[in-house]
A and B are shown apart, each in its own frame.
Chain A
Amino acid sequence: MNIRSRWRAVAAATALTLTWSASGAGEKIIIDQGYDDQTRIAVVPFETAGGDGAGIAPVVSFDLARSGQFDPLPPENMLSLPTRPEQVFFRDWRVLGIEYVLIGRMWELGDGELATAYHLLDVFNERELLSGRLAAPATKRRDIAHRIADEVFEQITGIPGAFSTKIIYVLALDAGTSYARYRLELADSDGERARTLFDSDQPLLSASWSPDARRVAYVSFESGRQAVVIQDLVTGERNRIAEYRGLNGAPVFSPDGNRLALVLSRDGNPEIYVKDLASGALRRVTRYPSAIDTEPSWTPDGNGLIFTSDRGGRPQIYQMDLATSMVERLTFQGDYNARARLLPDGEHLVYVHRRQGTYHIAWQALEREDVRVLTQTSLDESPSIAPNGTMLIYATQDRGRGILAVVSIDGRVRYRLPSAEGDVREPAWSPYIDALSPSSGY
């Protein structure tokens, strides 16, 4: 490599490193890498009469930017700031190379309600692609912004947006000391508006969502031993649903929300069970004395499970058909493959893969054995996939501290969510959430 080409590589890497802060309140997300050929969009600051809509455009812009597929124009580079379709002069945007313009207005309806009107315009074809109106409580301003970003993303890419989703994760403070604290946190998918769902002086882990995004299941050591807890996010009610002798771990809701797969070692060694949540009936689904069977995850049709087992000597991923109990091994490369999750298509999986002593997130098609390593950090674990299947969030280390990071399923887009304090770990990406619906509970 000569000096000139090395320079170019450095310049390219620098250009891709963007730092954004959606609201200024939280920590900055660092976008490490996006696609080469990004869509150029301008999200014009919304007009605000009465209601303060100033925060909308930055949140929408940032949502689109962190998808890696969009390159939003900074407002200071805009030649005009239209808020209604008739105020848009397409040549103002064409000269800037902008392909799409999003404009909008927000006003008060009384009783703390805000109305928002927005329009997405195609600059080259000089036409409106999308227009919408939303009414929502003023407290849901960020939800309004995420909703608009979802619609814009879908209109332009054809893929539903997942910006309105949430994440849960564990924040460990002073880990390794006698005054350690563990918090189960709920936040927007961009890490903003974090709040604590449960706080304990004992470890918490393995949080996962119910498909209706109203409940979460997780593992808690609050009683001094392991228990699986289901917590209702709306009422705050908590139930310890498994607290047997030995392990009580790795809970995951079935796609219909009626069953929970989990790991118990009450019969001597870790085996996978399925609990019917209505009747409480428990069914043991793996039988492999002396082996570790753990980390179950459902197939999207709810008829099968994938799981980690060391029945072959080393941890590998297996799939089981629940009707026939037939088991098939899925991973063959490397001597450590664990904690797999299937993509929404049911055809691909991601998991933790050890290569040359370091742990990365890897991707593979079910029917093929070639493995694509998606992450370049180390000690990467707990991959959790966005409901639209485009990105996954995972836990990694940054200068000795646990942080969350996101990578696209093709490995080409990456960003990190740094945290102000503690170690952040065990992320779980929610299903789709209609946060603007009063019945959503959000």
Chain B
Amino acid sequence: MTQARSTHGSRPRFSLFVVLLAGGVLAGCAGCTTPAPDPVPIPEEPAAPTVEPTPDPEPIPEFNEAGNPLDPESGLPLSRTFYFDFDKAVIRPSDLRTLERHADMLRRHRDRSLAIEGHCDERGTREYNLALGERRANAVRSFLMSDGVRDSQIETVSYGEERPADVGHDESAWSKNRRAELIYR
């Protein structure tokens, strides 16, 4: 089941990536052919080489200097913080795509491992929040494992409400504190 899901999940993403790249090249070419009304397009020529390195087979870096995975589309670091609703340990649907990318990275790099930290806002008792933080970390862990990441690649730790990202005492701070963070090793 797990195997089927992971192979099924990765292929379409790769083809989507190729399509997007191709789209980018086409868009670039479309750009350089637009100056139709102007009959002197020669000085515009240097714009073309800037798009050329993109289709180069040179591998795009998958991790930055800090060892954190990069988004294969944007080249920017993948988000490593995932937020939760009050008193809940359910991953938000909008985070699933990013988590799939993390799973992808960890599947392709079995030497990489990470710690998942679970956190809560300050409301409620401290020990209960440690348990809730663990539940959040475990929700992320279960998702990654169902996407093919090995148990040995993941460690979870709950800090409950002990390590707030924002020390404020309002909903704005609380919403930033109810989170799971992926710490790559």
Contact = CB atoms under 8 A, between A and B. Distances in A.
Interface of A: 175-176, 203, 205-206, 221, 224-226, 246-247, 249-250, 263, 265, 270, 292, 294-295, 308, 315, 336, 338-339, 352, 354, 359, 379, 381-382, 397, 400, 425-426
B167 A176 contact: yes
A265 B126 contact: no
A352 B125 contact: yes
A282 to B, nearest CB: 18
A339 B122 CA distance: 15
A339 B127 contact: yes
B123 A338 contact: no
Given A203-B159, A247-B158, A292 B125 contact: no
B166 A270 contact: no
Contacts of B131: 247, 263, 265, 270, 292, 294
B157 A381 contact: no
A286 to B, nearest CB: 12
Contact of A203 (B162, B167, B169): B162
Interface string B152-185: 0000111110111111110000000000000000
A294 B127 contact: yes
Given A203-B162, A221-B162, A247-B158, A175 B167 contact: yes
A336 B87 CA distance: 11
B167 A206 contact: no
B101 interface: no
Nearest to B167: A176
A397 B159 CA distance: 20
B120 interface: no
B134 interface: yes
A249 B127 contact: yes
Contact of B130 (A176, A224, A247, A381): A247
A292 B135 contact: yes
B130 A249 contact: yes
Among A221, A224, A292, find the residue whose CB has the most chain B CB atoms closer than 10 A: A292
Contacts of A400: 168-169
A364 to B, nearest CB: 16
Contacts of A263: 127, 131
A270 B134 contact: yes
B17 interface: no
A350 to B, nearest CB: 13
B126 A246 contact: no
Contacts of A203: 159, 162-163
B156 to A, nearest CB: 7
Contacts of B160: 205
16 contacts: A175-B164, A203-B162, A205-B160, A221-B162, A225-B157, A226-B158, A249-B130, A263-B131, A270-B131, A270-B134, A294-B127, A294-B128, A315-B124, A336-B124, A338-B124, A352-B125
A382 B128 CA distance: 11
Given A294-B128, A379-B169, 10 more contacts: A176-B167, A226-B158, A247-B131, A249-B127, A250-B127, A270-B134, A352-B125, A379-B123, A381-B125, A397-B169
B132 interface: yes
A425 B160 CA distance: 15
Contacts of A265: 131, 134
Which residue among B127, B134, B135, B159 has the maximum number of chain A CB atoms within 10 Å of its CB?
Answer: B127
A308 B126 CA distance: 12
Given A176-B166, A176-B167, A226-B157, A246 B125 contact: no
A263 B156 CA distance: 16
Given A246-B134, A379-B122, A382-B126, A221 B159 contact: yes
Nearest to A335: B87
A209 B22 CA distance: 67
A388 to B, nearest CB: 25
Contacts of B167: 175-176
